[in-house]
Each structure stands twice: as C-alpha cells, then as structure tokens.
Amino acid sequence: MQLKILNVVPGLLPEAGGPSRTVPGLCEGLTAAGAAVTLFSTHQAGKDITVDPASADYEVCLFRGTETSLRSAREIYQTIKKRARDFDLVHVHSLWNQISTVACAAARSASLPYVLAPLGMLSTTCVRQRHFAHKRIFAALYDRRTVEGAARLHLASADELETLVKGWFRYPPHFIARNGTAPVTSFAPGAFRRRFPELKERRLMLFFGRLHPIKGLDLQLEALGLLKQKYEDLMWVLVGPDAGEWNRLKGAIQTRGLQDHVRWVGPLMGDERFAALADADVLVHTSFYESQAMTINEALAVGVPLVITDSVKYDDVSVAGAGRVVPRNATAVAAAIDSILQDAAASAAMREAGRRFAAAEFSWTRIAETIIKYYEEILSEKQSELSYALMDHREARANS
C-alpha cells in the first residue's frame, strides 16, 4: 500500500537556509521511492521560494503569510485536521516556531503519528546562545508536547544525538538519516568570476551561509589576516543573507585594514550558488555548531576543497580526502587554507574526492528509502496499539 506522507516546513524562502532546500529534496526522494507526498509551508506574495509548485512531482500547499504569522499557523492547523484522512504520517521539520508547534498539535489531535526533525535546534550549543534564552520558557509552555509527543526524532547525524540538550524533555525514540543533495551538473564554470570581474584574477576563500554569530566569522577574518601577507591576491568572499552580523563584521574588517580583501555578495540561489562554489579555491566553515551543513554537502557535490573546524562535526570531509578538519583556532585554519592554496595537485585531488563521496552518499532517493522504513515501523506500532486497544475493548464488553 502506498504511504501518504505530509511534510511541513515553516518556510521555503532561499534565505531561510538549508531546510528550504533539504525538505523539497526529501519530498522528491520520497516521491521517487513510491510515496504519495504533500508539502505544507508558508509563502509571502512576491517572494521567490525554492520550490515551483507547478513543476513539482508532489503536492505543494502554500499558506499565505510568514513563518511567524498567526494566520498561517491557524490555517495549517485547520487544514491538517480537515485532511487527516489524506495522510498516514506527518514529518515536521524545525522547532521553536509557531508552524512546527501547531503542525504537531494538529497531528496529535487527529491521531496522526508524526516525526520531528529538530534540525540541530535541540543542541546544547544552540539553546545556550543568548538569542535562544526565551526558548526555555517556550519549551515549558508549548513545545514540551511537541517533542515528547513525536513518534520519532529524525536526527541528521550521531553528533546531533550526542549534543541534545539534557534535562529539558523525555525524548522519544530516534533515527538518524543524513541530508542529501541532488547531482550538481548545470552550472557554468567561471560564471561567478565573470559576474564579479573584480574577483577574476584573485584567489577565493569562500564562506557560504547566513551572516550570523553562530557561524564564527571572526575566526575566518583572523585567518585572512594571517594569510594576507603571503597571498596578496586572496579575497574572502561571503555569500549569503545578513542575519544581523554584517555591520559588526564590517567594522572589524575595517579595523584590521582588510576591506580590500573582503567582498560580501549577498545570497545566491540555484546555478549561481554552484558556480560560486566551483570557482572558489577553498570553502571555509567555522560554525560553533551544525547538525549537518547543507553548504558542505553542496560543496562536496560540486567539488571544492574544504577547510572546516572540528566544531562543525563533519569528519567525513577528512575521511573522504575532500579537505581538512582542524581545531577551532585561526592559526590552524590559516595553515590548512595555505596547504590547499600552494598545492594544485592536492587541491584537484580533494575536488575529485568530494564529488566521489557525494555521488555515493547523497542520493535523496536512497535516503528516502531508509526513512520510509522508519515510517513503516511507526505505522506498524500504531496498528499494533490499535489492535491491542480493540482487544481490550472487546474483553471489557464481554466481562460487562
């Protein structure tokens, strides 16, 4: 029997980061694996999103408003309850927002089992950040049932499991399934440098992601300062939306006198993203925490040498031979970048190793087939519970 799966993600705006790409990728993989898939999300008029509903192979339902809109949350809640018979199971991606909270509440109300993918938002690192201080109150008031009522937690890695915040919840069982990425073949090499002619003859040290405190960008800036004397043509290129960090970072760049070696180009999507990755000499990732960085997956798929800190928790980069994983200090980061910039043969080998690893590990269809087995396990448990409940009911009637 064909499984009917509802996926819910708060937003699909490109600037929302990895989930706006990973969730549609999972929906495509589930569809290819034989499931009937529906995706619920929000949409703001005039804004581009990462899914084209008209061309998707699965049903896409967009609810007008933002991720924080009470109207969107209410409509999603009502629609899940109204269409409960259309779904066997709900897979909710994200935590600490109204959309995920009401989607899980609606699933519980409709007796639909749900899987919760917290996307790293239950990590100790995340909840200890200053802007997460209110989450403890939110958890106590609203999201305790969101987490504890899930049939399973979907975690992206063993490291995400190890970093779950302790003492907040009684966690349900979990499964681990990594993020994937579609094969990357449609970009034009050199297109990024042609779009930004000032970068044409420069070595490019690339950052890809939100400009946010958790990304540890000061460490990359310090590494740039250490490398500048040896590589006068080195440019630190930042690609991504500002999440409140740029003004502070710009001041630090000017204080260090590095403004001629830094270019922030804003967010890029689709082939432009991949062209930027392809044209980079090295991609640097220094986050304080990641559950599994989609940017690194895409970099591996394109084939760009990587330098990441051990705080990113992505040891596959070094195991695959696609880059360097180093301690979280500027000297180590700079030394790893230097080793790549000065060795063209090693750089080429890393590019090829990354592409091989991505081809072997990042198939969304294969990942979806693994996740479907957990869906089937959950539904089998539900059926067993219903059978036992029916037996108990019959026995009670017989004894009355």
- In order of their start, the domains of the chain are 4-180+363-392 (3.40.50.2000), 191-361 (3.40.50.2000)
User: What's the pLDDT score for residue 373?
Assistant: 97
* Other CB atoms within 10 Å distance of the CB of residue 191: 15
- Reading phi first (left if > 0) and then psi (alpha if -120 to 50, else beta), residue 112 is in beta
User: What's the pLDDT score for residue 399?
Assistant: 62
Q: pTM of the entire structure? A: 0.83
Bridge partners of 31?
Answer: none
* Residues of the chain where predicted confidence (pLDDT) is lower than 70: 128-141, 386-400
User: What's the pLDDT score for residue 291?
Assistant: 73
Tell me the residue type at 338.
D
User: What's the pLDDT score for residue 398?
Assistant: 58
Cα dihedral sign for 83, 86, 88, 90?
negative
Instruction: For residue 52, give the DSSP letter.
Output: -
User: What's the pLDDT score for residue 140?
Assistant: 56
User: What's the pLDDT score for residue 104?
Assistant: 97
User: What's the pLDDT score for residue 273?
Assistant: 87
Q: How far apart, in whole angstroms, are the C-alpha atoms of residue 344 and residue 330?
A: 23
Q: How far apart, in whole angstroms, are the C-alpha atoms of residue 117 and residue 367?
A: 14
Which residues have a Cβ under 8 Å from the Cβ of 58 and sit 6 or more positions away? 27, 28, 30, 31, 36, 37, 38, 39
User: What's the pLDDT score for residue 81?
Assistant: 97
User: What's the pLDDT score for residue 115?
Assistant: 98
